[in-house]
Amino acid sequence: MKQQIANVAIVVKDYDDAIRFYTEKLGFELIEDTVLSETKRWVMVAPKNSDGCRLLLAKAATDEQQSRVGNQTGGRVFMFLHTDDFWRDYNNYTEKGICFVRSPSKEEYGTVAVFADLYGNLWDLIGPEV
Protein backbone atom coordinates (compact mmCIF):
# COMPACT_ATOMS: atom_id res chain seq x y z
CA MET A 1 0.00 0.00 0.00
CA LYS A 2 1.32 3.45 -0.91
CA GLN A 3 -0.16 6.78 0.07
CA GLN A 4 1.06 10.34 -0.13
CA ILE A 5 -0.34 13.79 0.51
CA ALA A 6 -0.80 15.30 -2.95
CA ASN A 7 -2.22 18.76 -2.21
CA VAL A 8 -2.66 21.11 0.70
CA ALA A 9 -5.30 23.85 0.50
CA ILE A 10 -4.38 27.34 1.60
CA VAL A 11 -7.20 29.85 1.96
CA VAL A 12 -6.57 33.08 0.04
CA LYS A 13 -8.44 36.36 -0.45
CA ASP A 14 -7.85 36.62 -4.18
CA TYR A 15 -6.70 34.06 -6.72
CA ASP A 16 -4.67 36.44 -8.88
CA ASP A 17 -2.88 38.14 -5.97
CA ALA A 18 -1.97 34.72 -4.56
CA ILE A 19 -0.76 33.46 -7.95
CA ARG A 20 1.46 36.54 -8.34
CA PHE A 21 2.93 36.09 -4.86
CA TYR A 22 3.73 32.41 -5.26
CA THR A 23 5.04 32.65 -8.83
CA GLU A 24 6.76 36.04 -8.83
CA LYS A 25 8.01 36.29 -5.23
CA LEU A 26 8.64 32.64 -4.32
CA GLY A 27 9.38 31.44 -7.86
CA PHE A 28 6.80 28.64 -7.80
CA GLU A 29 5.24 27.28 -10.99
CA LEU A 30 1.56 27.71 -11.81
CA ILE A 31 0.55 24.10 -12.38
CA GLU A 32 -3.14 24.64 -13.11
CA ASP A 33 -5.70 27.43 -13.20
CA THR A 34 -9.08 26.05 -14.23
CA VAL A 35 -12.34 28.03 -13.96
CA LEU A 36 -14.98 25.91 -12.21
CA SER A 37 -17.71 28.55 -11.90
CA GLU A 38 -18.14 32.32 -11.85
CA THR A 39 -16.62 32.43 -8.36
CA LYS A 40 -14.48 29.29 -8.06
CA ARG A 41 -11.22 28.19 -9.71
CA TRP A 42 -8.94 25.19 -9.28
CA VAL A 43 -5.53 26.82 -8.83
CA MET A 44 -2.44 24.74 -8.11
CA VAL A 45 1.12 25.98 -7.54
CA ALA A 46 4.31 24.18 -6.56
CA PRO A 47 8.03 24.89 -6.25
CA LYS A 48 9.85 24.53 -9.56
CA ASN A 49 11.29 21.08 -10.18
CA SER A 50 9.27 19.66 -7.28
CA ASP A 51 7.56 16.29 -7.46
CA GLY A 52 6.04 16.60 -4.01
CA CYS A 53 2.99 18.15 -2.48
CA ARG A 54 1.29 21.05 -4.28
CA LEU A 55 -0.61 24.03 -2.90
CA LEU A 56 -4.25 24.46 -3.82
CA LEU A 57 -5.05 28.17 -3.64
CA ALA A 58 -8.62 28.18 -2.34
CA LYS A 59 -10.44 31.51 -2.37
CA ALA A 60 -12.36 32.13 0.84
CA ALA A 61 -16.07 31.98 0.06
CA THR A 62 -17.69 32.48 3.48
CA ASP A 63 -17.14 34.77 6.46
CA GLU A 64 -15.72 31.85 8.43
CA GLN A 65 -13.23 31.06 5.66
CA GLN A 66 -12.32 34.77 5.38
CA SER A 67 -11.49 34.72 9.09
CA ARG A 68 -8.89 31.99 8.47
CA VAL A 69 -6.99 33.80 5.69
CA GLY A 70 -3.47 34.39 7.00
CA ASN A 71 -4.01 32.49 10.23
CA GLN A 72 -4.72 28.89 9.29
CA THR A 73 -2.65 27.52 12.19
CA GLY A 74 -3.26 30.03 14.97
CA GLY A 75 0.10 31.76 14.52
CA ARG A 76 2.29 28.66 14.26
CA VAL A 77 4.46 27.95 11.25
CA PHE A 78 2.16 26.52 8.59
CA MET A 79 4.41 25.37 5.75
CA PHE A 80 7.96 24.07 5.54
CA LEU A 81 9.85 24.88 2.35
CA HIS A 82 13.03 22.85 1.94
CA THR A 83 15.74 24.13 -0.38
CA ASP A 84 19.07 22.82 -1.60
CA ASP A 85 20.64 26.30 -1.17
CA PHE A 86 19.37 28.27 1.82
CA TRP A 87 21.38 31.45 1.26
CA ARG A 88 20.51 31.66 -2.44
CA ASP A 89 16.79 31.54 -1.67
CA TYR A 90 16.96 33.65 1.49
CA ASN A 91 18.81 36.43 -0.35
CA ASN A 92 16.52 36.17 -3.40
CA TYR A 93 13.38 36.35 -1.24
CA THR A 94 14.76 39.27 0.76
CA GLU A 95 15.48 41.16 -2.48
CA LYS A 96 11.89 40.49 -3.61
CA GLY A 97 10.47 41.96 -0.41
CA ILE A 98 9.55 38.77 1.43
CA CYS A 99 9.11 39.59 5.12
CA PHE A 100 11.27 37.38 7.33
CA VAL A 101 9.90 37.41 10.86
CA ARG A 102 12.72 35.28 12.32
CA SER A 103 16.32 35.64 11.24
CA PRO A 104 18.33 32.68 9.97
CA SER A 105 19.61 30.33 12.62
CA LYS A 106 21.56 27.10 12.57
CA GLU A 107 19.66 24.16 14.01
CA GLU A 108 20.42 20.45 14.23
CA TYR A 109 18.41 19.86 11.05
CA GLY A 110 19.93 22.74 9.02
CA THR A 111 19.66 26.48 8.55
CA VAL A 112 16.17 27.93 9.02
CA ALA A 113 14.41 31.29 8.86
CA VAL A 114 10.71 32.10 9.14
CA PHE A 115 8.91 34.25 6.60
CA ALA A 116 5.32 35.42 6.17
CA ASP A 117 3.37 34.96 2.97
CA LEU A 118 1.23 37.74 1.50
CA TYR A 119 -1.53 37.10 4.07
CA GLY A 120 0.67 36.47 7.10
CA ASN A 121 0.83 32.66 7.19
CA LEU A 122 4.23 31.63 8.53
CA TRP A 123 6.65 29.46 6.57
CA ASP A 124 9.99 27.89 7.52
CA LEU A 125 12.65 28.17 4.83
CA ILE A 126 14.98 25.26 5.59
CA GLY A 127 18.29 24.43 3.96
CA PRO A 128 20.96 21.84 4.63
CA GLU A 129 23.62 22.55 7.22
CA VAL A 130 26.61 24.07 5.46
pLDDT digit string (tens) for 42-89?
999 999 999 889 999 999 999 999 999 999 999 999 999 999 999 999
**71-130: CATH topology:** 2,3-Dihydroxybiphenyl 1,2-Dioxygenase; domain 1 (3.10.180)
Find out whether 41 and 85 touch, Cβ atoms under 8 Å: no
Residues ≥6 apart with Cβ < 8 Å to 17:
118
Q: Which residues pair with 33 in a beta bridge?
A: 43
Query: Given a cut of 90, is residue 41 above it in pLDDT?
Result: yes
In the chain, list all ranges with CATH 3.10.180.10: 1-69, 71-130
Second-level CATH architecture of 1-69? Roll (3.10)
